[in-house]
Chain A
Amino acid sequence: MSKVVERKPLTFLEKTYLPQIVGGLKITLQNAFRPKVTLQYPEERPPIPEGYRGVPTLVRDPNGREKCVSCQLCEFVCPPKAIRITPGEIPEESESVHVEKGPEDFEINMLRCIYCGMCQEVCPEEAIFLQDIYSVVGTTREEFVYHKQKLYELGGTLPDEHYKWDKKKAATERAAAGGHH
């Protein structure tokens, strides 16, 4: 059942188009005095919502230990192949020698990264997070390859509930001391 819309012929005033122009002028005038929506960018920053996927960063646990164990899962899962990890041994004298491995270098090419967050999803150590950094600038291609040190600077420390490696170390020590699991 279709409804027939009644189309009235235009009145003389409507045909002159003038009342509509005046109406339009009124609307634009009102708009001119509305509060502005502009964000003065470098000084004012937009609020970053929860769960925002910004630049991928590496984080430390609250004890300051680097969490990445260079398992290279993120490197394999990364769709644009932006991550490259050079695995390395952890030196004997280091405090975190109980952790099996650490990255010698961890590169993320920010020109390739597509901010999909798969590295964060796949990481078994919760070591890589896409945090709230959105402004990536540089003047050369080299500058856009973020190395390990820069990634840790950006990432900082995030709270950790697991202390996986510390618990494992404690358990090993207990076992060595004759305790049982």
Chain B
Amino acid sequence: MDWIDILLKVVYCVLVVVVTMTIAGYSVMAERKIASWIQGRIGPNRARIPGIADIPVLGTALVKLGIFQLPADGLKFLFKEEPVPAHVKKVYYTIAPCLALVPALVVLVVLPFGVYYIDGQAHPLVLADLDIGILFILAISSLGVYGVVLGAWAGNNKYSFFGGVRSSAQMISYELALGMSILPVFMWANGPTGGLGDLTLFNVVTSQTALWNVIWMPIPAFVYLTALFAETNRLPFDMPETETELVGGFHTEYGGFKFGLYFTGEYAHMVIGSAVFTILFFGGWQFLPTFGFLPEWVANPWASWGWIGSVVSVIFFIVKLYALMVFFIWIRWTLPRFRYDQVMTIGWKYLLPMALACIVFYAIVIGAWDTFMNVQDTPAIINQSAP
């Protein structure tokens, strides 16, 4: 590989990480704003950066929206005194917050977030177009729980400990439902639509040109979304924190920038989770589904716009992602927390059987479709064997 290629990759990586962290940061702001709107308050509207905030109309509007609250919060976390309690296990206490953030960022590598065209052939905008994309995501993102559990044990405190134990139990329970609920999606992506027989997320998006998965696979989408809430420790599944019972849960002993890392990690997880959900069920960056009778260009109206089209596709992807984030926040300020036994019951007794039933049902449907509708061209097999 040429050194220019390596340099470009590094630049892309930095760009992707910066954009993701900014989105994560601004979802904190969205959280605070939406929370206050739902509670009849105004929310943060005073933080201001002199130069920008002084622009007549725009500056005032931005200040009112609380745009500058994010740098203020970030700086606060950076400059806060960071006492390390005497009874914690120092090494693990320091490593844990990083472990919570890193998996979320690693997952970014295989996440396609847009599309570009070379000679009419679509290629994903992605750092590494892995064949096993979704497996990679499932494997790495579930490592995030190690940060939580390790931090909880290192805290050496009964509240942290309970938070950690609950967190690990919850993660394991919902990981299963999460993994199973997406199997129908991949059966579809690799079956009748003529996918190439792999697990890349780009393949999934392409398979949704006619119909977004959320429309005809509502139950897997629902199971996946519920499991996603549990995986990202969001209400109504925020067992690890449970601040009414466990002080702060796993991060009871944390403060300053280490707490900030946990905080950012949580929101980064949410962003990644929403992104994966958008790709799997909401057609990724596609504009609208064609429903089988609309013209092809409806799905990607920007296909012929060159690099502008790519940028627009990324923006549209981010818009969808943000809509989902808002839904996350909206749910948080609507539902109370489930009791711990209820969480376990929902996970094992309802979501898991539901996901299993869906696998069977969609396997039959897709198999029948494959057999009776387009048996003459099975591109998945032919393309793979061709030289």
Q: How far is the CA of A24 from the CA of B34 in the complex (A)?
A: 15
On chain A, the number of residues with a Cβ less than 8 Å from chain B's Cβ atoms is 14
Categorize the interface residue count of chain B: 10 to 19
Q: How far is the CA of A123 from the CA of B334 in the complex (A)?
A: 54
Chain A residues with CB under 8 A of B333: 28
Q: Mark A119-148, 1 if CB is under 8 A from B, else 0.
A: 000000000000000000000000000000
Q: Looking at B37, B39, B40, B334, which has the most chain A CB atoms within 10 Å of its CB?
A: B334
Chain A residues with CB under 8 A of B42: 36, 38, 40
Cβ-defined contact, B330 with A29, below 8 A: yes
Chain A residues with CB under 8 A of B41: 36-38
Cβ-defined contact, B330 with A25, below 8 A: yes
> B373 within 8 Å of A by Cβ?
no
Q: How many contacts A-B (CB < 8 Å)?
A: 33
Q: Looking at A27, A32, A37, which has the most chain B CB atoms within 10 Å of its CB?
A: A32
> B19 within 8 Å of A by Cβ?
no
- Residue from A32, A37, A38, A40 in contact with B38 in the complex, judged by beta carbons closer than 8 Å: A32
> B331 within 8 Å of A by Cβ?
yes
Cβ-defined contact, B330 with A31, below 8 A: no
Cβ-defined contact, B40 with A28, below 8 A: no
> B118 within 8 Å of A by Cβ?
no
Cβ-defined contact, A36 with B40, below 8 A: yes
- Residue from A31, A33, A40 in contact with B39 in the complex, judged by beta carbons closer than 8 Å: A31
Q: Mark B17-56, 1 if CB is under 8 A from A, else 0.
A: 0000000000000000010011111100000000000000
What is the minimal beta-carbon distance from B332 to any residue of chain A, in angstroms? 10
**Nearest A residue to B336, CB-CB:** A24
Chain B residues with CB under 8 A of A31: 37-40
Which B residues are within 8 Å of any A CB, using their own CB? 34, 37-42, 330-331, 333-335
Which A residues are within 8 Å of any B CB, using their own CB? 21, 24-25, 27-29, 31-34, 36-38, 40
The 10 closest A-B pairs by CB, nearest first: A32-B37, A38-B42, A24-B334, A28-B334, A28-B38, A32-B38, A37-B40, A38-B41, A36-B42, A31-B38
